[in-house]
Amino acid sequence: MQKILVTGATGGVGTRLRMLMKGLYPSIRWSDIRKPDDLAADEEFIVADLADLAAVKTIVAGVDGIVHLGGYSIEGPWEMILNANIVGCYNLFEAAYRAGVKRVVFASSNHALGFYPRSQRVGVNVTVRPDSRYGVSKAFGEALGALYADKHGLRVTCLRIGNVGDAPLDQRRLAIWLKPEDLVQLIRIGLEHRDIHFEIFYGASDNADVWWDNSNARRFGYKPTGKADDFRAQAMAAQAKLPPDPIGDRYQGGPFCSDEYDADRAG
Ligand SMILES: NC(=O)c1ccc[n+]([C@@H]2O[C@H](COP(=O)([O-])OP(=O)(O)OC[C@H]3O[C@@H](n4cnc5c(N)ncnc54)[C@H](O)[C@@H]3O)[C@@H](O)[C@H]2O)c1
């Protein structure tokens, strides 16, 4: 991997990666629909809207691997999700394949499976159960990844990211927290491991409360260093201040499940 493209570079995760991935590859191109305020003179950055195929063709040109973070990252109106995550993700994979890019690491999400109950441990071979239009768009991105891997030989890794941050912020995030350095480890496996064809990994650290079987990532050498348990007291103190959420607390997707929820009212 000589040259890498990272989309969504101005967002929360992208901003962390601009620090953590410095020097990891000979050349990194960053892209987003908006430019970061703190761009350094030695950082290559191209402004591009993922919904614009011509612009996406420009950002993928000449790169060996892509870390695709760009898109709408929470629940939102269908038009926003459609443009950024459905059209945008299609454009990314299609342009990557046409340009001869070898690998894509796609930032999927736990919200592609948010309606699994917290009592159930899920692996990577289960039906998706999205908890939002956003979650559906991530399931769509995973399906696109499988298509381009199986049909065109692109090497694709989907990371079902839990929650990236310095520490888990509440009880739910004790189960799904991902230390930023562990995310970098997963990205590197996706970009570098010789046996990647199409893989799904859970983006979670070594959390005692975990709901996911992440043995597939460990099979590829993933050794998470973060332990959510180290922050249990502060996460539970924050949890105690949250209002009760009977639906959200039942399912893995938390508030994404209770948002707009009215299934109980169906006949
Ligand atoms: N942060 C997390 O814990 C977490 C958890 C699960 C999944 N993810 C996924 O990881 C990725 C990064 O997450 P984040 O927290 O940094 O999100 P973020 O919202 O902070 O960043 C996303 C970036 O994508 C850019 N973007 C949006 N629409 C675009 C478009 N049409 N064209 C080009 N760029 C566009 C935004 O400008 C933004 O900078 C997202 O795909 C998100 O869904 C993140």
User: What is the tens place of the pLDDT at every residue in 138-162?
Assistant: 999 999 999 999 999 999 999 999 9
Q: Which of 73, 87, 92, 183 to mutate to test the pocket of ligand 1 (most atoms within 8 A of CB)?
A: 73
Confidence of residue 213 (pLDDT cuts 50, 70, 90): very high
DSSP per-residue string spanning 33-64: SS--TT--TT-EEEE--TT-HHHHHHHHTT-S
- What's the confidence (pLDDT) of residue 211? 96
Q: How much is the average pLDDT of 120-129?
A: 97
Would you say 38 and 63 are in contact if contact means Cβ atoms under 8 Å apart? no
Confidence of residue 202 (pLDDT cuts 50, 70, 90): very high
Report the chain's mean pLDDT, rounded to a whole number. 97
Reduced to 3 states (helix: H, G, I; strand: E, B; else coil), residue 28 is: strand
Q: How much is the average pLDDT of 121-129?
A: 97
Residue 158 CA to ligand 1 center (angstroms) comes to 15
Q: How far is CA 62 from CA 144, 158, 233, in A?
A: 22, 22, 48
Active centre residues (catalytic) = 134
Q: How much is the average pLDDT of 174-184?
A: 98
Q: Which residues contact 79 (CB under 8 A, 6 or more apart)?
A: none
Confidence of residue 265 (pLDDT cuts 50, 70, 90): confident
- Name the residue at shortest CA distance from atom 27 of ligand 1: 71
The pair phi, psi for residue 178, each rounded to 5°, is: -130, 115
Q: Give the integer Cα–Cα distance in Å for 39 and 41.
A: 7
Q: Give the integer Cα–Cα distance in Å for 132 and 130.
A: 6
Q: How much is the average pLDDT of 28-38?
A: 97
pLDDT value at 266 more than 80: no
pLDDT tens profile 51-106 = 999 999 999 999 999 999 999 999 999 999 999 999 999 999 999 999 999 999 99
Nearest atom within ligand 1 for CA of residue 68: 41
Ligand 1 pocket, CB under 6 A: 8, 10-14, 32-34, 49-51, 69-73, 83-84, 88, 107, 109, 161, 163-164
Q: How far is CA 132 from CA 79, 117, 138, 149, 191, in A?
A: 14, 15, 10, 26, 29
Nearest atom within ligand 1 for CA of residue 159: 7
Would you say 217 and 160 are in contact if contact means Cβ atoms under 8 Å apart? no
Predicted structure pTM score: 0.98
pLDDT value at 267 more than 80: no
Residue 68 CA to ligand 1 center (angstroms) comes to 9
Residue 73 CA to ligand 1 center (angstroms) comes to 5
CB atoms under 10 Å from CB of 24, counted, come to 15
Reduced to 3 states (helix: H, G, I; strand: E, B; else coil), residue 259 is: coil
Q: Which residues contact 240 (CB under 8 A, 6 or more apart)?
A: none
- What's the confidence (pLDDT) of residue 264? 84
Nearest to 157 by CA among 204, 104, 203, 194: 104
Reduced to 3 states (helix: H, G, I; strand: E, B; else coil), residue 223 is: coil
